[in-house]
């Protein structure tokens, strides 16, 4: 895979540790580009698009890295990434602030104990990366908080796609695919009947199998995903009215009613919490 280096670094405010926002395609052709005893204060994760190598934990455990793996650089954790020097290594990385990472971990959205998540990459994710890189390059400073939410969405979609606990059983794989569909495009309406049809399942069987494996109904799962993103937006300074629009609600009243029912407090009170 031939790719030229194409990266961008931005920052929301003066604090690099908590305000950094960066991404890009990064080819690494030689062993000298390996990173040993490496540590950063903010969060960064990369999806290896081609090539292979090894990840060394602080305890010197060796984890093989192959194309399609997502590698997390946990803030404050010393680690090493070693490149197989065959000229084929290309990664796409996304970085955001440490405080954002800590908050995502507190919601159990990011696995803090899993530095390498085995996955795969496809043409859709490559297009998504390219669009995000262009958005970050061309965004005005005032647009960066919204771009930061997109960065989190991309990372979470990769992690949720790759860290499921389902087996290779086709029934479980179908439910895992349903979780991915119900976790994406938070701002648009999703037809549960359409999800069932996409999985080649009847609607009633889909609801039954989903509840069996996930523990909640597909509708409740969709609402929970919306509320997770809503919390992130509110904490990022997005207004309640705009959060309602970005999570697919027709008005702030409907959103506030659902948020209060799901979270236990109103969006306004949540915004004021320390």
Say what the pLDDT of residue 228 is: 87
- pLDDT tens for 223-272 read 998 998 888 888 878 899 999 999 999 899 999 999 999 999 999 999 88
* Pairing mode, strands 6-11 and 35-38: unpaired
Contacts of 19 (CB under 8 A, 6+ apart): 11, 12, 13, 97
**Residue with more model confidence, 126 or 10:** 10
CB 63 within 8 A of CB 101: no
Q: What does pTM read for this prediction?
A: 0.63
How does DSSP classify residue 142? G
Report the distance separating Cα 90 and Cα 112, nearest Å: 24
Q: Which residues lie across from 48 on neighbouring strands?
A: 91
Domain with CATH 2.60.120.10 in the chain: 6-140
Is the pLDDT at 87 greater than 90? The verdict is no
What's the average model confidence in pLDDT over 114-118? Answer: 88
> Quick one: tokens of 92?
């796409």
Count CB neighbours of 103 within 10 A: 17
Looking at residue 196, its pLDDT comes to 86
CATH classification (class only), 164-274: mainly alpha
Q: Where in the chain is the domain with CATH 1.10.10.60?
A: 164-274
Residues whose CB falls within 8 Å of the CB of residue 60, separated by 6 or more in sequence, listed in order: none
Q: Which CATH number fits domain 6-140: 3.40.630.40, 2.60.120.10, 3.30.530.20, 2.102.10.10?
A: 2.60.120.10
pLDDT digits (tens, 9 = 90+) for 13-56: 999 999 999 999 999 989 999 999 999 999 999 999 999 999 99
């Amino acid at each position: 895979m031939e790719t030229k280096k194409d990266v961008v670094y931005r920052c929301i405010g003066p604090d690099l540790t908590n305000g950094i926002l960066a991404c890009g395609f990064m080819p690494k052709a030689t062993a000298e580009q390996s990173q040993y005893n490496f540590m950063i204060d903010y969060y960064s994760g990369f999806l290896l698009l081609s090539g292979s190598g090894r990840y060394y934990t602080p305890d010197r455990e060796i984890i093989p890295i192959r194309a399609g793996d997502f590698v997390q650089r946990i803030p404050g954790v010393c680690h090493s990434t070693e490149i197989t020097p065959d000229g084929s290594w290309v990664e796409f990385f996304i970085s955001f602030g440490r405080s954002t990472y800590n908050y995502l971990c507190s919601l159990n959205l990011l696995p803090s104990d899993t530095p390498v998540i085995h996955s795969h990459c496809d043409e859709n994710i490559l297009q998504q990366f390219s669009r995000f890189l262009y958005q970050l390059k061309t965004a005005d400073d005032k647009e960066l908080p919204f771009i930061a939410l997109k960065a989190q969405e991309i990372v979470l979609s990769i992690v949720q796609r790759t860290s499921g606990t389902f087996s290779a059983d086709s029934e479980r794989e179908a439910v895992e695919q349903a979780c991915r569909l119900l976790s994406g495009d938070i701002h648009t309406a999703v037809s549960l009947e359409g999800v069932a049809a996409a999985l080649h399942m009847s609607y009633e069987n889909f609801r039954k199998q989903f509840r069996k494996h996930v523990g909640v109904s597909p509708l409740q799962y969709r609402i929970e995903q919306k509320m997770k993103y809503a919390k992130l937006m509110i904490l990022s300074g997005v207004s309640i009215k705009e959060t309602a629009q970005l999570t697919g609600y027709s008005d702030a009243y409907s959103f506030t009613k659902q948020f209060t029912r799901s979270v236990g407090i109103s969006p306004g009170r949540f915004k004021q919490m320390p």
